[in-house]
Amino acid sequence: MTATPVTSLSAAPLLAAARGEKPAHHPVWFMRQAGRSLPEYRKLREGVAMLDACFNPEMVCEITMQPVRRHGVDGAVLFSDIVVPLRAAGVDVDIVPGTGPVLAEPVRDKRGVEALPELDPAQVQPVLDGIGLLRGELGGTPLIGFAGAPFTLASYLVEGGPSRNHERTKALMHAEPEVWHALLARVAQITGTFLRAQVDAGVAAVQLFDSWAGALSERDYREYVLPHSTAVLQSVTGVPKIHFGVGTSELLPAMREAGADVVGVDWRLPLDVAVRRLGPDVVVQGNLDPAVLFAGWPAVEREVRRIVEEGKAAAGHIFNLGHGVLPDTDPDVLTKVVELVHSL
């Protein structure tokens, strides 16, 4: 099948909304839509480690396609993980079931930072091959590439795994700011290289995902993180850029300054309030609480309608969840949400 050029996707509702234009219908996709909520995903992944799947082009293609076929969403998000570029570059990281990313050797000093490798795009060739396969399958549905933002990746590197309080991360940030900035600069290089490689391979939009930025004050975010997220986003051109963080209601204006075209908003802040903080010319993405999907259809419908109405305060709105699809979510509810959003 002949690949569909990215330029032919310009009228796709998701991309039109990202540019602040009026789309043919209200666009919707879901973070983590390609994942554990789908029985076909669980069947395909049986016995296959997460990172092995992320480096298998055929699995990347199939898993990315599954929610597009099932739900009719307006965007396919590349099946991957935020630690993929670290693993590809040679960092000893694995995803432990029930725990998350775990580093064999945490990075906590200047020597550790200097030992971090750079990423060569050839090291993520299996991911790029998966994108090539997807371009032949997706037709008019845009493919969204993504990467973890510098702070989140740095936190995993410093803590050695997931952390509730990020105490080692914050200690390094405040005690040794030169080492901290060197670490984030190196991680930003890796992230930027990964995103640009995805764009070159054919993704139509990208999302920079900052899972842990909500642990920071605005002052610390601006001083220790914003310059590096800005460097990543400025290094990517030619496609719409989405910037999303969890628990970042107080950081939204600063996150917008990093240079994204679309600001993702989690479920903690109504979209119209977010727009007042960000400015009326902003395009927003979000922000149904993923837990509401368990509340029964009347509650889900009420919340979806509210969010779509609040999103009208922005220059553009891409409907999404306020974080990722939870594993036990009924896929049929997601399909009904897509149908409802498209009807509004």
- Catalytic (active site) residue 45: yes
Is residue 330 annotated as part of the catalytic site, yes or no? Answer: no
Catalytic residue among 19, 45, 222, 306: 45
The residues, ordered by sequence, that sit 6+ positions from 340 with a Cβ below 8 Å of its Cβ are 301, 304, 305
Q: Is 81 a catalytic residue?
A: yes
Instruction: Give the single-character DSSP code of 227.
Output: H
d(CA 140, CA 266): 27
First CA to last CA across the chain, in angstroms?
34
Residue 190 is which amino acid? I
CA distance 332 to 344: 19
Catalytic one of 36, 168, 222, 268: 36
Asked about 156 being catalytic, the answer comes back as: yes
Residue 221 among the catalytic residues: no
SS3 33: coil
CB proximity list for 171: less than 8 A, separation 6 or greater: none
Amino acid at 233: L
Nearest to 288 by CA among 305, 272, 303, 310: 303
Of the residues 41, 70, 74, 81, which is catalytic? Answer: 81
Strands 262-264 and 205-210: unpaired
Query: Which residue among the candidates 32, 70, 87, 256 is catalytic per the annotation?
Result: 32
Catalytic residue among 70, 74, 108, 156: 156
The torsion angles phi and psi of 286, rounded to 5 degrees, stand at: 140, -165
Cα separation of 263 and 275, whole Å? 10
Annotated active-site positions, please?
Answer: 32, 36, 45, 81, 156
